[in-house]
Amino acid sequence: MTSSALSSSSFRKSHSTTQQSGNRMSKSTCSATHFCGFDPAKLVVFLREKFPHDTAKSVAAALNISPRNVENWLALRASPGFLTTGAMIDRWGAEFLVAVMSSPPGWAREAVAREEFAELERRRAVLKSRLRRDD
């Protein structure tokens, strides 16, 4: 899947509130169990589905990080940091966001649906080609 970029300005707009004085104040959606809208249990499911064999080593290699870090995520002892989360978004795009966020944005769900539809169209074309050869 191609990655989907979220511009920093749209991120700031969706994650800030304006105080009465007009100053912008960060609106945190982070907690110990939900890292900025990301559900750690959903992250574990996503990573295990993406890499069913040697999950920690495979994820670590894909992201160029320590397998021990990934082992801690998989055991729900830790959550990925900001930069690593960014690397995962960059690598897996909207698919990642939809899979791991508690409430993924509509644009991400739409992007995943479009990608799934495109994949079905590619499979349909392959099957159609096979049927023509078999006739």
Using CA atoms, how far apart are residues 25 and 19, in angstroms rounded to an integer? 7
Mean pLDDT of 79-98: 93
Mean pLDDT of 103-108: 90
Contact criterion met (CB below 8 Å) for 102 and 39: yes
Q: How confident is the model at residue 10 (pLDDT cuts 50, 70, 90)?
A: very low
Query: In this structure, what token pair is assigned to residue 69?
Result: 């870090």
Contact criterion met (CB below 8 Å) for 80 and 62: no
Mean pLDDT of 73-82: 94
Of 134, 94, 90, 100, nearest to 116 (Cα)?
94
On the question of pLDDT at 44 being above 70, the answer is yes
pLDDT recorded at residue 35 = 59
Residue of higher predicted confidence among 66 and 16: 66
Ramachandran area for residue 123 (φ above 0: left; ψ -120 to 50: alpha; else beta): alpha
pLDDT recorded at residue 134 = 81
Using CA atoms, how far apart are residues 88 and 106, in angstroms rounded to an integer? 19
On the question of pLDDT at 93 being above 50, the answer is yes
Using CA atoms, how far apart are residues 11 and 36, in angstroms rounded to an integer? 12
- Give the C-alpha distances (Å, rounded to integers) separating 73 from 12, 60, 68, 85, 94: 27, 11, 9, 12, 20
What's the pTM? 0.65
Query: In this structure, what token pair is assigned to residue 121?
Result: 């169209």
